[in-house]
Amino acid sequence: MDIEELRRLLVLADHERITDAAEALQTSQPTLSRLLARVEHELGARLFERDAAGARPNPYGEVALAAARDITRRYDQLREDLATLLDPETGTVRLAFMDSMATSLVPRILRDFRREAPHVRVALQQKPGHEMLPDLAAGRTELAIIAPRPPGPHGWLPLQRQRLVLVVPAGHRLASRRLAGRRQVPLDELADEDFITVPAGFGFRSLLDDLLTANGATVRVAFESPDMAAIEGLAGAGLGVAILPERFAGVSGTVGVDLAADHAERIVGLTWRTDRALPPTAARLLDFLSRSGPFE
Q: Is the C-alpha dihedral spanning 126, 131, 132, 134 positive or negative?
A: negative
Residue 180's pLDDT band (cuts 50, 70, 90): very low
The Cα diameter of the chain in Å comes to 107
Taking each helix axis from N to C end, the angle separating 29-43 and 3-15, rounded to the nearest 10 degrees, works out to 110
Question: 65: closest CA among 8, 134, 136?
Answer: 8
pLDDT digit string, tens, across residues 17-30 = 888 998 999 999 89
| pLDDT-derived band at 178, boundaries 50, 70, 90 | low
Residue 60 CB neighbours (<10 A): 15
Task: Report pLDDT for 183.
Answer: 73
pLDDT in tens, 55-86: 899 999 999 999 999 999 999 889 888 887 88
Do residues 165 and 258 touch, judged by C-beta distance below 8 A?
Answer: yes
Mean pLDDT across 265-271: 96
Give the mean model confidence (pLDDT) for residues 1-16: 90
Mean pLDDT of the chain: 92
For residue 290, is pLDDT > 60?
A: yes
Q: What integer is the mean pLDDT of 150-172?
A: 95
Band of the pLDDT at 16, cuts 50, 70, 90? confident
Ordered domains of the chain (ranges, CATH): 3-86 (1.10.10.10), 92-159+268-292 (3.40.190.10), 162-266 (3.40.190.10)
Whole-structure pTM value: 0.74
- What confidence score (pLDDT) does residue 248 get? 94
What is the pLDDT at residue 177? 60
